[in-house]
A and B are shown apart, each in its own frame.
Chain A
Amino acid sequence: MDIFIQQILNGLVLGSIYALIALGYTMVYGIMGLINFAHGEVVMVGGMVTVSVVSALMAAGLGLPPLALILIGLMVAVAACMLLGFTIERVAYRPLRKAQRLAPLITAIGVSIVLQQLAILVWGRNYIPFPPILDHDVIQIFGASITRLQMVIIVLCLAIMGGLLLVVEKTKLGRAMRATSQNPAVAGLMGVNVNTIISATFVIGSALGAIAGLMVATNYEQVHYYMGFMIGLKAFTAAVLGGIGNLAGAVAGGILLGIIESLGAGYIGDLTGGFLGSHYQDIFAFAVLIVVLIFRPSGLLGEKMADRA
């Protein structure tokens, strides 16, 4: 039972990070019908920049408290990622908006590779440890333990996601975004500047990605040029699981996937009589993805697509 609660807690931490990244995928997909393959790399850049800034500030010896260090690092990372997201859309996707679907997918893969290679160029191929400023206090809940940091991750993720939902539901920008996702042409006729809205979507999604990058970095206490790939793929799975294009769905899908994954990793050994071990953890996300797409391609919260001739 303790293992069960422990895995649920681990799943919640992982899941809220997935959810945050999944929002980036789902927002872009909702508005442009495009899988932004490079979003995982934005997360990676967010993590990398934070670590670099924090390390640099510490080396400068200003004696700032850890929270200030992380906040400054995060602010720089968010700014960098917003710029990055804006640029990616401008350079790689906007010219292809009318092209066949294959073209933007290939460009997205190209952008992904370029960002990874640039990361190698700047930060090298090795794992970079997070500077030793993280708090490791553990809280006990029902016999399971969770660090305070992980609690912060969960709470912060939920707060940010709530904020985003408010923006989309209540503000003028949100209304324009929803209109664009319904029908860009009509939204354009109604005076919505579709280009601005698409840019804004990328920028907001990238900002969330940067925050997620920091969380991944603090949770695993290291960063790496390839860290965005797997987590991006899983977050995409989460978005599909919840119903791609649906914000609440992305959140639900992310948390659910996180829990499925931790429970799966915790119990796969028992389930298969020791044949498969916890290093098969990554398989769960793909298995979930495949099962969802086959049985309910519209996702858990997505609208059922009508069959049309």
Chain B
Amino acid sequence: MAEVLLKIDGIVKRFGGLVALSEVGLTINKGEIYGLIGPNGAGKTTLFNVLTGLYMPDEGSFTFNGQNLFRAKPHVVVGAGIARTFQNIRLFKEMTALENVMVGRHIRSKAGALGAVLRDPRTMAEERAIRDKAMELLAYVGITEVAHEFAKNLSYGHQRRLEIARALATEPKLLALDEPAAGMNPRETEELKALMEKIRASGVTVLLIEHDVKLMMGLCDRIAVLDYGKKIAEGVPEVVRRDPKVIEAYLGVAHE
């Protein structure tokens, strides 16, 4: 039996009178690649923001790795081991690629203002470790050569990879990727797929939102489908693909 990493139940999120998520529940197991799909406006990104602490859900429960994360602040969520990327890349544009990844180490390091000013040996050692780890991660996603470029000057594909490296720097147990393949050409998408397999093989669980249903079917171990803020299906791709509710949801928007 697979070990549960993340479990949410009955999650409700409202914006004013609008119910964006209604009683959504799902479980993600350790070591899998879990996909989240659904038509535009189905609430994928909202759910994603709830799972990464950017939105406070109104009702429900949220446990991760045995820790209660219901209405937890983003930095607590990251500390517990969930890291994310953004659909519309949110790098620190005027920081170098290396600095971006170093920021990702923030939660796993401790030096405070006093250490920064005094530069005691421990702080210096930690700073070196932050830097080394960041370089290692840049190499891991294959963009060492642009380490000292401003993030905004990187190519689109490199920016996507940098965002993943920055997220990995927080040492996540669950890496949540919001449409990482958006705007990529087929070759880049293939490379990204390989990177995700590599990340999973290293023991990190992956949560993925993607528009490209075909890509998701080939890559994910399990998939949940959202429509109008509700989960309408969850399971292995073969089963989900044949689910009449899913087909209806997608056909329903297809001729829009």
Touching in the complex, A and B, CB below 8 A?
yes
Chain A interface (Cβ < 8 Å from any Cβ of B): 304, 306-307, 309
Bound together, the chains give a CA A309 to CA B84 distance in angstroms of: 13
Name the residue on A nearest B54 (C-beta): A309
Give, as a whole number of angstroms, the nearest-CB distance from A10 to chain B. 39
| Interface presence of B92 (CB below 8 A) | no
| Interface presence of B16 (CB below 8 A) | yes
> Hey, which chain B residues are within 8 Å of A306, CB to CB?
15-16
Give, as a whole number of angstroms, the nearest-CB distance from B95 to chain A. 17
- Starting from the known contacts A306-B15, A309-B55, 6 additional A-B residue pairs (CB-CB under 8 Å) come to A304-B16, A306-B16, A307-B55, A309-B45, A309-B49, A309-B54
Bound together, the chains give a CA A239 to CA B186 distance in angstroms of: 53
Bound together, the chains give a CA A307 to CA B15 distance in angstroms of: 9
> Hey, which chain B residues are within 8 Å of A307, CB to CB?
55
Name the residue on A nearest B87 (C-beta): A309
Bound together, the chains give a CA A48 to CA B94 distance in angstroms of: 47
> Hey, which chain B residues are within 8 Å of A309, CB to CB?
45, 49, 54-55
Contact with A along B36-71 (1 / 0, CB 8 A): 000000000100010000110000000000000000
Give, as a whole number of angstroms, the nearest-CB distance from B178 to chain A. 10
Contact with A along B167-211 (1 / 0, CB 8 A): 000000000000000000000000000000000000000000000
On chain B, which size bracket covers the interface? under 10
Bound together, the chains give a CA A53 to CA B49 distance in angstroms of: 62
Bound together, the chains give a CA A271 to CA B224 distance in angstroms of: 61
Name the residue on B nearest A307 (C-beta): B55
Bound together, the chains give a CA A304 to CA B49 distance in angstroms of: 20
> Hey, which chain B residues are within 8 Å of A304, CB to CB?
16
8 A-B pairs with least C-beta separation = A309-B54, A309-B49, A306-B15, A309-B55, A306-B16, A304-B16, A307-B55, A309-B45
Bound together, the chains give a CA A306 to CA B55 distance in angstroms of: 11
> Hey, which chain A residues are within 8 Å of B49, CB to CB?
309
Name the residue on A nearest B15 (C-beta): A306
> Hey, which chain A residues are within 8 Å of B16, CB to CB?
304, 306
Chain B CB count within 10 A is highest, among A304, A306, A307, A309, for: A309
Bound together, the chains give a CA A307 to CA B49 distance in angstroms of: 12
Give, as a whole number of angstroms, the nearest-CB distance from B78 to chain A. 14
Bound together, the chains give a CA A309 to CA B45 distance in angstroms of: 10
Bound together, the chains give a CA A306 to CA B15 distance in angstroms of: 8
> Hey, which chain A residues are within 8 Å of B55, CB to CB?
307, 309
> Hey, which chain A residues are within 8 Å of B15, CB to CB?
306
Contact with A along B12-27 (1 / 0, CB 8 A): 0001100000000000
Name the residue on A nearest B56 (C-beta): A307
> Hey, which chain A residues are within 8 Å of B45, CB to CB?
309
Give, as a whole number of angstroms, the nearest-CB distance from B254 to chain A. 28
A sample of 8 cross-chain residue pairs with beta-carbon separation below 8 angstroms, ordered by A number, consists of A304-B16, A306-B15, A306-B16, A307-B55, A309-B45, A309-B49, A309-B54, A309-B55
Bound together, the chains give a CA A304 to CA B15 distance in angstroms of: 11
Give, as a whole number of angstroms, the nearest-CB distance from A305 to chain B. 11
Give, as a whole number of angstroms, the nearest-CB distance from B60 to chain A. 18
Bound together, the chains give a CA A307 to CA B45 distance in angstroms of: 14
Name the residue on B nearest A304 (C-beta): B16
> Hey, which chain A residues are within 8 Å of B54, CB to CB?
309
Bound together, the chains give a CA A304 to CA B17 distance in angstroms of: 12
Bound together, the chains give a CA A307 to CA B50 distance in angstroms of: 13
Bound together, the chains give a CA A309 to CA B16 distance in angstroms of: 16
Contact with A along B211-229 (1 / 0, CB 8 A): 0000000000000000000
Bound together, the chains give a CA A111 to CA B25 distance in angstroms of: 57
Give, as a whole number of angstroms, the nearest-CB distance from B73 to chain A. 14
Give, as a whole number of angstroms, the nearest-CB distance from B149 to chain A. 23
Bound together, the chains give a CA A309 to CA B55 distance in angstroms of: 8
Bound together, the chains give a CA A309 to CA B178 distance in angstroms of: 13
Give, as a whole number of angstroms, the nearest-CB distance from B44 to chain A. 13
Bound together, the chains give a CA A104 to CA B15 distance in angstroms of: 33
Bound together, the chains give a CA A304 to CA B16 distance in angstroms of: 9
Bound together, the chains give a CA A307 to CA B56 distance in angstroms of: 10
Contact with A along B71-99 (1 / 0, CB 8 A): 00000000000000000000000000000
Give, as a whole number of angstroms, the nearest-CB distance from A221 to chain B. 50
Name the residue on B nearest A306 (C-beta): B15
Give, as a whole number of angstroms, the nearest-CB distance from A307 to chain B. 7
Give, as a whole number of angstroms, the nearest-CB distance from A285 to chain B. 31
Name the residue on A nearest B49 (C-beta): A309
Give, as a whole number of angstroms, the nearest-CB distance from B190 to chain A. 29
Bound together, the chains give a CA A7 to CA B137 distance in angstroms of: 67
Name the residue on A nearest B48 (C-beta): A309
Bound together, the chains give a CA A192 to CA B110 distance in angstroms of: 55
Bound together, the chains give a CA A306 to CA B54 distance in angstroms of: 13
Give, as a whole number of angstroms, the nearest-CB distance from B5 to chain A. 23
Name the residue on A nearest B18 (C-beta): A306
Bound together, the chains give a CA A307 to CA B58 distance in angstroms of: 14
Bound together, the chains give a CA A309 to CA B54 distance in angstroms of: 7
Bound together, the chains give a CA A54 to CA B55 distance in angstroms of: 60
